[in-house]
């Protein structure tokens, strides 16, 4: 086939990928259906990725800061929660311009296109013909790793840039850098901003190995000293990292406040180990069952080990390894596939244990299954080498027909199997009104002062829904009804507030009270058997400004009354006399640790309206200190909260919002110290009289990161206009 000009080939690739990607997702792309992929105990898509990105978009539209998210965990550092991808360009564009559901639809398709286009370009760099390049791009774009992880969009966004990174490193390693170092810095920055540090870390490891092997393979062809070449690898990665500092610096601050500060133990990192039998699913994806119908029989989580990329790509990979074994690229990508696969198996082979012990940074991540993305990329590229060899064997007369047949069969294979992993509910059905949201919206209109709601048993009911629906192969009506639970973080879509949330990393104090996706917190259990809510749980809800409680169960407690029952069968209870967002206490209780502080707060004799627990020493209050609720919110934005207090006697103002580095307080315009009280709340001492108290989020980490990012991006812009490295060969 005559080679088309590069620009025409690129346009052809774009058209091809559109026709390749859209068929299984056409209803999502045309806003006729939504993806309801599930994670058994919660949905990363609906309990984090969509609502958090919607928060970013809504904040931008009203001109508010995205640095702090008030709606979950009594306030959360949203830039530090890198999984949001708050400053990832496509998120800013899609969610800043479109309604949330339209934005999330195209946010799921865009990374598939980026991954496919990057693989097409990389395959061209490796010397493959047009048909093989199209084949490689299509296979990687619809590979199992991408399709099952659409629920974790930040992972897919980050992984989509991997082929472009390989392309830049290939040019640097082989002495043809040109502007590749600048593109490497830019794409690395984009991958980091996408918000999946684990994928970026794994990519850095594999890219480093790829660079070293390619330099060794080309040692007799490139007269570029190794040190010079290495510099143009390391320097762009460093600049790209600095360009993403606006999120990385706050994320590092958050990480130090969580249980992952010192990393994970081996057992935690190696949980959900993958059976070696999983290898055969590259050829028969449902050989051991499927999450789609709740029949998966191997250990671990199905969506963490699903890497099916088509039976023809898998078979043509074997052809490439046999027929093209002299190719340096084939040998290298075969090695990447083997090593990555062994790492995916976790503790079932010694390799992951060795890497965990020896490689800096490995202990900060769980799920070595994410190395599967490199297995899928290798299958796409090696399969393309195999297809090219088979087409060469057919000769010119049959080449076009053979290429069309291979591409058509692979497309049909992937459309059938990958669509199975993307359950879809009709758009209008999913966006229909939610009964509990309507009830809470009406309550908010009648209670203008800030308050929160809390959902009991969200994770438990979610798991029951998954099994009752036979995964997502049966009736999806239970998933539609499940929206009424308003699970943690889903509330952000409706401008409602909850004291808990759904996030990967949560400050230890927040986690101690409200738990996280990995730890339980103070969750209730007795009501599951008796229908009675524990008094200490009810007291904590009252303390944290929770006015309404949602539960699928009928509950009994003197602490609340039945307020309504939604159309979906969810019970709504109103807490009796919840404490306001800000109130004054006249007594403090000392606690030596967070654990002791939580025990004292849960004790039967603790009165949250009069007392506050202070960790690390006694906070001396004036002798005349007394409680008061004569405190009112007078101003509010994402990063600012203002109160007016009128006190007959002094006391400690307790604000049931998250204590976190970066918050500053002023009392009547003068700076005032903030104390951490009640494990995770903010406290400020007030004298008697009229006061205006203002809390502002002025994070040093956010400011420092923004300055570093601005300087690095300015450097990249200037360098791109003035900088290029000529080809270097022997």
Q: Tokens 């840039």 map to which residue? A: 161
Q: Is residue 279 part of a domain?
A: yes
Q: How far apart are alpha carbons 684 and 665 in whole angstroms?
A: 8
Say what the alpha-carbon torsion angle 554, 500, 696, 668 is, to the nearest 10 degrees: 40
Q: Is residue 118 part of a domain?
A: yes
One domain for residues 409 and 375: yes
Confidence of residue 521 (pLDDT cuts 50, 70, 90): confident
- Pick the range with the lowest mean pLDDT from 38-42, 130-134, 175-179, 539-543: 38-42
The residues, ordered by sequence, that sit 6+ positions from 329 with a Cβ below 8 Å of its Cβ are 126, 127, 381, 385
Q: Is the pLDDT score of 728 beyond 80? A: no
What are 633-657's pLDDT values in tens digits?
Answer: 999 999 999 999 999 999 999 999 9
Q: Is the pLDDT score of 730 beyond 60? A: no
What distance lies between CA 329 and its chain's CA centroid? 33
At 640, which CATH number?
2.60.40
Q: How far apart are alpha carbons 63 and 702 in whole angstroms?
A: 18
The H-or-E segment that residue 105 falls in is: helix 100-125
Check residue 704 and give its pLDDT.
97
User: SS3 string of 205-246?
Assistant: HHHHHHHHHHHHHCCCCCCCCHHHHHHHHHHHHHHHHHHCHH
Check residue 262 and give its pLDDT.
80
The H-or-E segment that residue 89 falls in is: helix 89-97
Q: What is the mean pLDDT of residues 443-466?
A: 86
One domain for residues 532 and 589: no
Check residue 2 and give its pLDDT.
42
Q: Is residue 211 part of a domain?
A: no
Q: Quickly list H helices, 346-500.
A: 350-358, 372-394, 396-419, 427-430, 435-446, 458-468, 477-482
| DSSP letters for 557-624 | -TTEEEEEE-TTS-EEEEESS---SEEEESEEEEESSHHHHHHHHHSTT--TTTEEEEETS-----TT
Q: How far apart are alpha carbons 91 and 646 in whole angstroms?
A: 44
Q: Is the pLDDT score of 316 beyond 90? A: yes
* First-residue to last-residue Cα distance in the chain: 32
One domain for residues 468 and 494: yes
CB 109 within 8 A of CB 21: yes
Q: How far apart are alpha carbons 201 and 269 in whole angstroms?
A: 15
C-alpha pair distances (Å), 294 with each of 144, 423, 457: 18, 13, 21
What are 649-691's pLDDT values in tens digits?
Answer: 999 999 999 999 999 999 999 999 999 999 999 999 999 999 9
| Domain, as residue range, for 590 | 582-698
Over its C-alpha atoms, the chain yields an Rg (Å, rounded) of 28
Which residue, of 575, 607, 639, is where some domain finishes?
Answer: 575
What distance lies between CA 451 and its chain's CA centroid? 27
What distance lies between CA 259 and its chain's CA centroid? 18
CB 272 within 8 A of CB 301: yes
One domain for residues 129 and 162: yes
One domain for residues 456 and 330: no
One domain for residues 402 and 442: no
Q: Is the pLDDT score of 46 beyond 80? A: yes
Check residue 657 and give its pLDDT.
96
One domain for residues 132 and 159: yes
One domain for residues 162 and 29: yes
One domain for residues 280 and 417: yes
Q: Is residue 127 part of a domain?
A: yes
Q: Is the pLDDT score of 580 beyond 50? A: yes
Local structure of residue 274 (DSSP, 8 states): P
Q: What is the mean pLDDT of residues 28-51?
A: 85
What are 191-247's pLDDT values in tens digits?
Answer: 999 999 999 999 999 999 999 999 999 887 777 788 888 889 999 999 999 999 999
Q: Is the pLDDT score of 4 beyond 60? A: no
One domain for residues 112 and 142: yes
Check residue 332 and give its pLDDT.
97
| Tokens of residue 478, six digits | 């239970």
What are 300-309's pLDDT values in tens digits?
Answer: 889 899 999 9
One domain for residues 156 and 268: yes
Confidence of residue 540 (pLDDT cuts 50, 70, 90): very high
Q: How far apart are alpha carbons 72 and 657 in whole angstroms?
A: 10
What are 233-290's pLDDT values in tens digits?
Answer: 999 999 999 999 999 999 999 999 998 888 889 998 888 889 999 999 999 999 999 9
Could you tell me what percent of the chain has a pLDDT over 90? 75
What are 500-509's pLDDT values in tens digits?
Answer: 998 888 999 9
Query: Please, what is the average pLDDT of the chain?
Result: 92
pTM: 0.94
One domain for residues 167 and 295: yes
Q: Is residue 730 part of a domain?
A: no
Q: Is residue 410 part of a domain?
A: yes
Q: Is residue 505 part of a domain?
A: yes
Q: How far apart are alpha carbons 509 and 681 in whole angstroms?
A: 10
Could you tell me what percent of the chain has a pLDDT over 70? 98
Q: Is the pLDDT score of 573 beyond 50? A: yes
Which residue, of 399, 421, 443, is where some domain finishes?
Answer: 421
From edge to edge, which strands make up the β-sheet containing 689-697?
A: 631-637, 640-647, 689-697, 663-667, 670-672
Q: How far apart are alpha carbons 307 and 297 in whole angstroms?
A: 16
C-alpha pair distances (Å), 482 with each of 354, 468, 478, 501, 516: 43, 12, 6, 17, 20
Q: What is the mean pLDDT of residues 126-145?
A: 96
Check residue 41 and give its pLDDT.
60
Local structure of residue 549 (DSSP, 8 states): E
Q: Is residue 392 part of a domain?
A: yes
Q: Give how many domains the chain has, as a whole number.
A: 3
Which residue, of 374, 395, 421, is where some domain finishes?
Answer: 421
Q: Tokens 């790509």 map to which residue? A: 313
């Amino acid at each position: 086939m005559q080679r088309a000009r590069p620009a025409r080939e690129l346009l052809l690739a774009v058209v091809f990928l559109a026709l390749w990607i859209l068929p299984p997702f056409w209803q999502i792309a045309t806003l006729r259906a939504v993806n309801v992929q599930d994670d058994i105990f919660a949905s990363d898509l609906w309990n984090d990725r969509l609502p958090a990105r919607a928060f970013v978009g809504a904040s931008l539209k009203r001109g508010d800061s995205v640095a702090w998210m008030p709606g979950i965990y009594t306030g959360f550092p949203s830039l530090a929660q890198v999984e949001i991808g708050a400053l990832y360009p496509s998120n800013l564009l899609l969610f800043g311009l479109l309604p949330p559901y339209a934005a999330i639809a195209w946010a799921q398709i865009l990374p598939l296109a980026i991954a496919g286009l990057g693989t097409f370009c990389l395959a061209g760099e490796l010397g493959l013909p047009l048909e093989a390049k199209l084949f490689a791009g299509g296979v990687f774009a619809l590979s199992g790793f991408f399709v099952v992880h659409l629920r974790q969009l930040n992972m897919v966004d980050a992984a989509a840039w991997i082929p472009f990174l390989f392309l830049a490193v290939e040019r640097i390693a082989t002495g043809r850098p040109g502007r590749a170092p600048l593109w490497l810095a830019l794409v690395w920055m984009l991958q980091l901003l996408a918000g999946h540090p684990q994928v970026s870390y794994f990519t850095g490891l594999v890219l480093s190995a790829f660079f070293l092997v390619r330099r060794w393979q080309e040692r007799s062809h490139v007269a570029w000293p190794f040190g010079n070449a290495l510099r143009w690898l390391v320097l762009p990665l460093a600049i790209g990292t600095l360009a993403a500092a606006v999120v990385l610096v706050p994320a590092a601050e958050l990480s130090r406040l969580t249980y992952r500060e010192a990393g994970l133990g081996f057992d935690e990192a190696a949980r959900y180990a993958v059976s070696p039998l999983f290898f055969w699913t590259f050829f028969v994806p449902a050989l051991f069952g499927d999450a789609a119908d709740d029949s998966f029989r191997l250990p671990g989580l199905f969506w963490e080990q699903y890497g099916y990329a088509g039976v023809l790509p898998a078979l043509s990979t074997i052809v490439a390894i046999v027929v093209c074994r002299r190719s340096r690229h084939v040998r290298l990508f075969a090695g990447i596939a083997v090593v990555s696969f062994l790492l995916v198996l976790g503790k079932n082979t010694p390799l992951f244990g060795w890497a965990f012990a020896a490689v800096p940074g490995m202990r900060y991540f769980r799920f070595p299954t994410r190395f599967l993305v490199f297995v899928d990329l290798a299958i796409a590229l090696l399969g393309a080498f195999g297809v090219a060899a088979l087409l060469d064997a057919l000769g010119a007369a049959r080449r076009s027909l053979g290429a069309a047949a291979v591409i058509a069969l692979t497309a049909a294979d992937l459309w059938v199997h990958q669509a199975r992993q993307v359950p879809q509910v009709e758009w209008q059905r999913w966006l229909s009104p939610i009964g509990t949201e309507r009830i809470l919206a009406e309550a908010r209109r009648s209670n203008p002062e800030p308050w929160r709601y809390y959902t009991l048993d969200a994770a438990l009911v979610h798991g029951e829904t998954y099994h009752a629906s036979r995964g997502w192969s049966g009736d999806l009506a239970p998933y539609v009804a499940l929206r009424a639970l308003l699970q943690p973080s889903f509330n952000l879509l409706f401008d409602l507030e909850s004291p808990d949330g759904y996030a990967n990393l949560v400050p230890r104090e927040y986690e101690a009270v409200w738990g996280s996706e990995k730890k339980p917190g103070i969750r209730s259990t007795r009501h599951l058997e008796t229908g009675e809510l524990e008094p200490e749980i009810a007291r904590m809800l009252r303390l944290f400004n929770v006015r309404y409680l949602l539960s699928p169960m009928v509950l009994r407690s003197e602490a609340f009354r039945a307020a309504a029952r939604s159309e979906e069968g969810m019970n709504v209870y109103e807490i009796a006399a919840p404490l306001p967002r800000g109130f004054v206490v006249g007594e403090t209780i000392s606690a030596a640790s967070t654990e002791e502080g939580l025990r004292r707060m849960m004790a039967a004799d603790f009165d949250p309206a009069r007392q506050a627990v202070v960790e690390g020493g006694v906070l001396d209050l004036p002798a005349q200190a007394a409680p008061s609720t004569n405190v009112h919110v007078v101003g509010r934005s994402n990063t600012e909260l203002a109160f007016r207090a009128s006190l007959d006697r002094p006391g400690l103002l307790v604000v049931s919002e998250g204590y976190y580095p970066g918050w500053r307080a002023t009392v009547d315009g003068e700076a005032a110290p903030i104390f951490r009280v009640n494990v995770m709340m903010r406290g400020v001492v007030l004298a008697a009289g009229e006061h205006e108290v203002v809390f502002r989020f002025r994070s040093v980490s956010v400011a420092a990161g923004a300055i570093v990012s601005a300087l690095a991006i300015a450097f990249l812009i200037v360098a791109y206009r003035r900088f290029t490295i000529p080809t270097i060969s022997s």
